[in-house]
């Protein structure tokens, strides 16, 4: 029961903060609201027995990615004139229409999901903890792990090439 109450609380918080994140004019405020959203999602992960993933969510998303966003906003030194303009009304209306259509599509998809699923009441001990996830990561999914590490290396090199010292 406590789990359900906590879930509804943090699900509502994540949706509200996501809404604020996309509607604020100032990108710094957007980033802060997005941090709130990520942290409430981390709480939902804990409620879903994904403890390791919740920790990674806080460290990587709320810690690293959003910090990077705030850092770049600071670096760009935006003046009030160039932030916060919304698109014109036509595109906004079009966006609204597309959003409603997508929501309707997703509603039908959600309705049919999980019918054949019978969830196990009890989980094996250690589910979602670092040891179990790590074992899976380094045995069955070792090739994707290596590929993702190469991807991160490429991202580092790419970021350096793009934003590094200005070449003459």
Q: Please give the structure tokens belonging to residue 66.
A: 């959003």
Cα torsion 29, 34, 37, 39: sign: negative
| Residues 34 and 17: beta-carbon distance below 8 Å | yes
Shortest separation between residue 24's beta carbon and another protein, angstroms: 8
| Residues 52 and 36: beta-carbon distance below 8 Å | no
Q: Does 55 bind another protein (CB under 8 A)?
A: no
Choose, by CB under 8 A, the member of 9, 74, 146, 151 that binds another protein: 151
Choose, by CB under 8 A, the member of 90, 114, 116, 168 that binds another protein: 114
Site for another protein in 29-48 (CB under 8 A): 30-31, 34, 37-38, 41, 44-45, 47-48
Shortest separation between residue 138's beta carbon and another protein, angstroms: 10
| Residues 27 and 78: beta-carbon distance below 8 Å | yes
Total of chain residues touching another protein, rule CB under 8 A: 90
Q: Does 76 bind another protein (CB under 8 A)?
A: yes
Closest C-alpha among 43, 129, 154 to residue 137 = 129
Choose, by CB under 8 A, the member of 4, 80, 116, 168 that binds another protein: 4
Site for another protein in 91-110 (CB under 8 A): 91-92, 94-96, 98-99, 102-103, 106-107, 109-110
Choose, by CB under 8 A, the member of 80, 85, 125, 167 that binds another protein: 85
Closest C-alpha among 152, 158, 133 to residue 56 = 133
Q: Does 22 bind another protein (CB under 8 A)?
A: yes
- Contacts within 8 Å (CB) and 24+ apart, 96-104: none
Choose, by CB under 8 A, the member of 9, 74, 83, 146 that binds another protein: 83
Please identify which residue in the block is written with the tokens 């094996």: 124
């Amino acid at each position: 029961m406590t789990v359900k109450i906590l879930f509804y609380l943090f699900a509502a918080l994540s949706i509200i903060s996501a809404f604020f994140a996309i509607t604020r004019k100032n990108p710094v405020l957007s980033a802060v609201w997005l941090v709130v959203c990520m942290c409430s999602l981390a709480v939902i992960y804990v409620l879903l027995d994904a403890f390791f993933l919740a920790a990674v969510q806080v460290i990587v998303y709320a810690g690293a990615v959003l910090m990077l966003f705030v850092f770049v906003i600071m670096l760009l030194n935006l003046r009030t004139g160039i932030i916060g303009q919304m698109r014109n009304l036509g595109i906004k209306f079009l966006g609204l229409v597309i959003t409603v259509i997508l929501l309707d599509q997703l509603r039908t998809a959600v309705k049919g999901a999980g019918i054949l699923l019978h969830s196990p009441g009890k989980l094996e001990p250690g589910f979602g903890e670092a040891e179990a996830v790590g074992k899976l990561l380094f045995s069955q999914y070792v090739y994707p792990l290596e590929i993702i590490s190469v991807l991160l290396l490429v991202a580092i090199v790419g970021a350096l090439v793009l934003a590094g010292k200005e070449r003459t």
